[in-house]
Amino acid sequence: MEHHDHQHNMHKHEQQHTNEHHHDGHQMDHKAMGHPGHDHGAMIKDFRKRFYVVLALTLPILLLSKMIQHWLQLHVSFIGDQYVLFALSTVVFIYGGWPFLSGWLAEMKAKNPGMMTLIGFAISVAYAYSTAIIFGLQGMDFFWELDTLILIMLLGHWIEMRSVAGASRELELLVQLMPSTAHLVSGETVEDVQTENLKENDLILIKPGEKIAADGMVEDGESYLNESMLTGESAPVQKIKGQKVIAGSVNGNGALKVRVMHSRKDSYLFKVVELVRNAQDAKSNTQLLADKAARWLTVIALLAGIVTFVVWISLGRDLAFAMERMVTVIVICCPHALGLAVPLVVARSTALSAQHGLLIKNRTAFENSRKITSVVFDKTGTLTKGKFEVARVVLTGNTVANEDELIGLAGALEANSEHPIATGILSEVRKRGLTLLIADQFNALTGKGIEATVEQKSVKVVSPGYLKDNGLKLPENAGIAGNETVVFVLLNDQLAGFIALADAIRPESADAIATLHENGIRSILLTGDNQQVAESVSKQLKMDGFFAEVLPHQKLEKIKELQRQGGFIAMTGDGVNDAPALAQADIGIAVASGSDIAAETAGIVLVNSNPKDIVNLILFGKATYRKMMQNLVWATGYNIITLPLAAGVLYNQGILLSPAIGAVLMTVSTVVVAINAGLLKLKS
């Protein structure tokens, strides 16, 4: 139930998300800073410009400040020097402080005080107090503090935005995979057109080494394609006439003509980018926890600032000292690192996953993957290849010369059949490089096999049932192994031999199951196949158990049964008949067939049906969660230590932080969080 609710909440949340953008990391800043229309690059440039202007004004402001002159034993004075100081500082306050002041206003309007409120409040207090000093109030101004504070805040935001841009860059890389132009073939001519103008049924030419410009079917030519950026699979994939190609994959050394299947916005890559965007925007429980913490920190900062001010005044310190302590506390407490702790990890993990063929549709499902105690595998196509392959060829008697001849005869009969067994025999014919013989006078032996004439000989390919019905003895060595299907070849009604086929287990399956065991996760097989086949696969892979002969509608019940026994259950299936079970499982992982990413009920979609990806997903989910927690611990822990220092708890020991030092520490804290998020890797 929880799963469905979350899906529903996610959609609700995305709508809210566009309205509020409160603490969602850098997005909050963009909105709050009053540049809603600017893109990321323009924002970074804007901060850089403001930083340099403030930097240029910093030297004269420092030289004109009494405090700095006193420290440096300098004396710079001329008539009206204080008014020049005031004028320069006003420029810094308004021009340099504008992003923070407008952000404060935006947060107040949204009734959602946060980062900008704190900085806006701190610089306004400092400016108002110092201005009062210039116009007659007794005391020391701290324009120089205000100036250095704004300077460092601008620098911090600039650096941090660049880090944030880094976290979102992976997504941009995905977008850039789509080539901007395509070679459109019309009749005998080829012209270059913009990719977005391609329509269904257009014919395009892909030259060697170029990127595929649109999803489509190969009409002419053959080549090997590198799809690693889309699926994470590094081995080149052979494409021949009639096969599907995905936009963004890189062509090898053959030229291809491709018939476009749909417009750009329906392409696989486009859907992936949308999916990644939505997943980065959707909030998970960890994000909500961080938001709550950031909101608390804002309240604590304002309260701590006011308490600090009151305490120092009541201890008899002057107004300037008390003001400076208050400003420092508020600045140091800015929950910036906290606001970014989770979104940065989210942005990076979602985009990285997409590049490795793991598509996260539901953030909470992904973060919860660390809790998985059992993975239920739907056998066909996940642990096994999902297609019959010849396991062994056995000759009986001396009717045929060798294995090749037996396979050749069977292949001739199966040439026109679509049956999985036929496909398996034909792929063996190709593998052995045999020439396909011609068969005629076909006749289907209902439910038992097929007969035809090949090179004037009567050939039958039949099931064990046919042998029994016709009083033929089963050969001794046809003792059928657990996961084998056997067909017999008769030549002129003499048994020539048999071919055993099996749905071969993928080479990666055993490793994947072993890695799950190392991580204390049970693996269970769920299949519609018979008891023998299920047991054979389960034993071979050293799995923890199996359910055999399970019909599609019973899969849901089996998942419920496992959940009743306790534990956190992940289910992998191909998304079609497994939809109810995927929705029931704590985490549904759909194994997509190539480019079908519309597996609605699953929280996570695997582009390849490789069982290793499931293991990678769980391990990456754990790593992602660890990074988030490290960031949250750092962002809150840093405040716990620095807040008392800023308030002046160790003043008598001679330890006191100035507002500028506070701002430096705040920036460092944010950058640490950004760098830590950048260290997240997906091991494959």
Element (H, E) at 553: helix 552-564
Please state, in angstroms and rounded to a whole number, the distance separating the CA atoms of residues 269 and 607: 12
- The length of the chain in residues reads 684
- The alpha carbons of the chain give a radius of gyration, in whole angstroms, of 34
Q: Which of 147, 378, 503, 586 is catalytic?
A: 378
Residue 96 has what DSSP assignment? I
Q: Under a CB-based contact definition with an 8 Å cutoff, are residues 194 and 214 in contact?
A: no
Please state, in angstroms and rounded to a whole number, the distance separating the CA atoms of residues 181 and 191: 10
Closest CA to 394 of 382, 410, 370: 410
Cα-based angle 358, 236, 421 (whole degrees, multiple of 5): 85
| DSSP letters spanning 282-310 | S--HHHHHHHHHHHHHHHHHHHHHHHHHH
Q: Is the alpha carbon torsion for 73, 76, 80, 82 positive or negative?
A: negative
Alpha carbons within 13 angstroms on the beta-carbon side of residue 282 total 24
Fill in the amino acid letter for 169: R
Q: Which residue has the tokens 């640490």?
A: 672
DSSP bridge pairs for 166: none
- For the question of residue 141 being annotated catalytic, the response is no
| Cβ atoms < 10 Å from Cβ of 671 | 17
Give residues with Cβ within 8 angstroms of 622, minimum separation 6: 369, 370
| DSSP letters spanning 108-168 | HHTT---HHHHHHHHHHHHHHHHHHHHTT-SS---HHHHHHHHHHHHHHHHHHHHHHHHHH
Two structure tokens written together for 581: 């079970």
Please state, in angstroms and rounded to a whole number, the distance separating the CA atoms of residues 361 and 7: 9
Q: Which residues are catalytic?
A: 378
